[in-house]
């Protein structure tokens, strides 16, 4: 889990759900660092068990078949893992280690779809 602490003590946190390319893709960590600069604890669990999507992003019409392959890949391998990850690791860490009283979510790409699943889990 990528964790960034704020400079000053805070009871607020943001859980960041990265995109399908993993926590090291794009500017996800840079944006997470900026949340910490604004006074939030930031926790970004690796939702993909360190198995990011194996293809480079497609362009043009190639995006359509890649989307279907991606959805199939996610549905077979990843969704069941999230409940355990949040309840057994992320939420206890936030509550017991950081003293968090309120949590927000920031979702990138397919992470926004997880938002609805997380609402059911909380």
Q: Nearest to residue 39, comparing CAs of 86, 91, 102?
A: 102
pLDDT for 74: 67
Distance CA 107, CA 17 (A): 5
pLDDT at 47: 75
First CA to last CA distance, the chain = 19
Q: Choose among 34, 67, 32: nearest CA to 46.
A: 32
- Distance between CA 98 and CA 93 in Å, rounded? 7
Stated length of the chain: 122
pLDDT value of position 17: 84
Of the two residues 81 and 86, the one the predictor is more confident about is 86
Domains of the chain listed by start with CATH number: 2-121 (3.40.50.1820)
Predicted confidence at residue 106, as pLDDT, reads 87
Residue 122 has pLDDT above 50, yes or no: no
pTM: 0.71
């Amino acid at each position: 889990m990528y964790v960034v602490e704020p400079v000053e003590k805070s009871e607020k946190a943001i859980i960041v759900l990265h995109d399908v390319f993993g926590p090291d893709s794009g500017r996800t960590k840079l944006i997470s660092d900026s949340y910490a600069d604004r006074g939030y604890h930031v926790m970004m669990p690796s939702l993909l068990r360190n198995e990011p999507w194996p293809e480079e992003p497609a362009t043009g019409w190639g995006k359509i078949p890649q989307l279907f392959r991606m959805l199939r890949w996610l549905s077979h391998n990843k969704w069941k893992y999230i409940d355990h990850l949040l309840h057994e690791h992320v939420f206890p860490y936030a509550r017991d280690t950081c003293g968090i009283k309120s949590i927000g979510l920031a979702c990138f790409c397919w992470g926004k779809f997880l938002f609805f699943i997380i609402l059911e889990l909380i």
